[in-house]
Structure 1
Amino acid sequence: MENKSNYDLLFKYVLIGDSKVGKSNILTRYIDEKFYDAHVATIGIEFAIKTIEIENQKVKLQIWDTAGQAYYRGSYGILLVYDITNETSFQNIEEKWIKTIKQNTNENVQIILIGNKCDLEEKRQISKEYAQEFADKLEIPFYEVSAKDNINIDNIFNSLTSNILENLDENKELIPQPKPKYSIQDDFKQLFERKEFCDFEIECKDDETESQIKIPIHKLIIQNRLKINENQVTNELYSILSQNSQKEVNILLKWIYFGKVSYSDLSIFQEWKNKLSNICEIEFETGIESFLKDLEILMNSEETKDFQIISNNQIIKVHKLILLARSELFRGMFNVSQDTSNSVHEYSNKQTETIESLIHFFYTDNIPKIENETIYEELKECVDYFQLNSERLIKIIEKEKEEQNLK
């Protein structure tokens, strides 16, 4: 983990393109200087950090190899990757990925076109001249690279960073990006959309088109809410949900995740009570608890506790789902397959109450009442360190501080 004093600027990059074009290999080659022949599909996201020095600036790069659109927003650079031996992967650049970028990023985002696997010349399907002509039409740089032979890998990241630096204004600030929403429901909605924490998907019919669609399901919340075991979640519940329409599934999931059922949905909800009574160990009438209560239960459950924070010899249990939704720094500490169950992270330089207040903010979008004024100052110091939506947190801190002073 790097303190902000170790770099001058922070740029977020995203690798985009079809499956099997070599996005993960490009990232692995750039970060670890390694290459793996076997293909492993990226489930959700992979994340890496590297600090480089370019044009007298120390620039920290956050690079996302993503399978979901939620990570595009807030990006300063897009690495658009195709496979020179796969014509379809190039066609999808224009037909799919360019449109996706326009829909999910700021119009000023810098894009670079990358043709990977240039070491496989005998299998080439897309000529270099054809790709260059396409890049010229888009007015973006173009490189052919080989993650396997380490050709042009450093160059593409250096080129992209230089382009972004050239577009900085006189105050050294990037054009403002859309601010993320910060509600606990929105955090989980984004996590489900990204699918890196999606345990399985339910197939059901779209109510309008009647076509088959997929809804991502998060097992932890379902297990806790319905008090059913893991096998039942992935078998009986899957079977029940798959037989119903999107509207019915959404009503159930809304209740499971957020404990809410609207009056107009009660008739459908009553039907679900009967369907689920065979696999659930709770009474539905008394089972609708607050969402934060669910989080508290998850936090106290050893099987769902991800890691511990130690502050002044006191242990605070942390659940990484919310942290990943709220903090860029915490996102950088994990990847999907990483086992964090035995991880311990120590912040001895902060008071325990500060860390507890910060975690409280991650979970509830608010901070508890604080008696000690130094806690407010430490919270402000955490804004840069944890790369938070600082405006939101500082506004909450100032409001709480003002209320304390009035008392």
Structure 2
Amino acid sequence: MSKYRRGSFQLMKSINRSIILNMIREQGPISRAEIAKQSSLTPPTVGNIVKELIASNFVIETTQGASQGGRKPTLLEINADNFYIIGIDVGRFKMNFVVTNLFGELKDQTSFEIKEHPDEAEILSTMKEGIYHLLSPAKNDPEKFIGIGVGMHGIVDVTHGISLFAPSFQLYNIPIKEVLEEEFKMIVKVENDARTMTLGESWFGNGNDADNMVGVNVGHGIGAGVMINGRLFHGEDSIAGEIGHVTIDLSGPKCSCGNYGCLQTLANGPAIGERAKKELKTGKKSKILELVDHDLEKIDGEIVYLAALEGDDFSIELLSQTGRYLGIGLVNLIHTLNPKRIIIGGGVSKAGDFLMTGLEETIQARGLTQKAKETSIVLAKLGENGSAIGACVLILEEFFVRQ
């Protein structure tokens, strides 16, 4: 990143708590006079700040507004496409990379496979490879990029940008922020992937109108991002939201954490495939067998979903049961946090209505009050790019602090 870009970042960071920039982002095109009116700041103060924003190329003057009896006002907009951000979602088997502008609009994307049992160096090398691919002048203008956000599964030290524990890889203390900032000379923010998904939905998805919400990422594992009064809640030691390790069945399967009957052993992607294999071995009939040529080892959650799409009763019931297990976990969240909305994302959420039917039945059966039963539960809007786009929001938050 050039010195000019670094200077622009420091300028924005020094004034980003002002409501002016966010007002332009949310209400633009908007005039200086209207900003002064709504913010109660004096016109000269607004003028000076806007002048700095224009000089930094974050804001541009656009069309003229309607006259109120005098000269037509010049309107202001965010110069969204002048700056790009890279967002990374580190999953179990692949790493997704996206490029967005300042409005979170997708401009480019790629993905790289993660080898089985990677070590720390291999994880960091894959990150660098994906970033360099997107920074290639043949792909994008490298001078546009102002930051990198990383959504990492497991426990993350947000302050220092360290992956404290990545359970899918059994790796500890990966210094993601330090390594990437040294390599690319731009700001890097690291957060848990369920929280980045929640951030993405809060800014650009189905959580835009909910200050108190929970985003639940259901994939290879299950995690949640808890947002209270518009801010992510991390807890004392950054483990808030680890609902995948809430015990649902004391006699349930053993979890990777060492406990038995954790939610993710019953409702994550691998659990769906394992339950299907177990029941089909008892002689139950299903279209799944045709889809895998009677090779049970080929069965996974996606195969179950494909069979459900073909009307397979066995698969439909299996996904509904998964929804019921997940519903028990969500009832616990509702009774503990009482959020306005719960948003379900991650690979398993692709099951859509097959999953939601059992989930909603459980909420209705177990909700403590009528209001609890009416808690809004929706599927994520941003889909498979949700965590990566949310990782971009980690950088956007440095510029656009929401008041």
- Whether the TM-score (by the shorter chain) exceeds 0.5 is no
Q: How high is the TM-score relative to the length of structure 2?
A: 0.25
Which has the higher relative contact order, 1 or 2, with Cα contacts under 8 A spaced 6 or more apart? Answer: 2
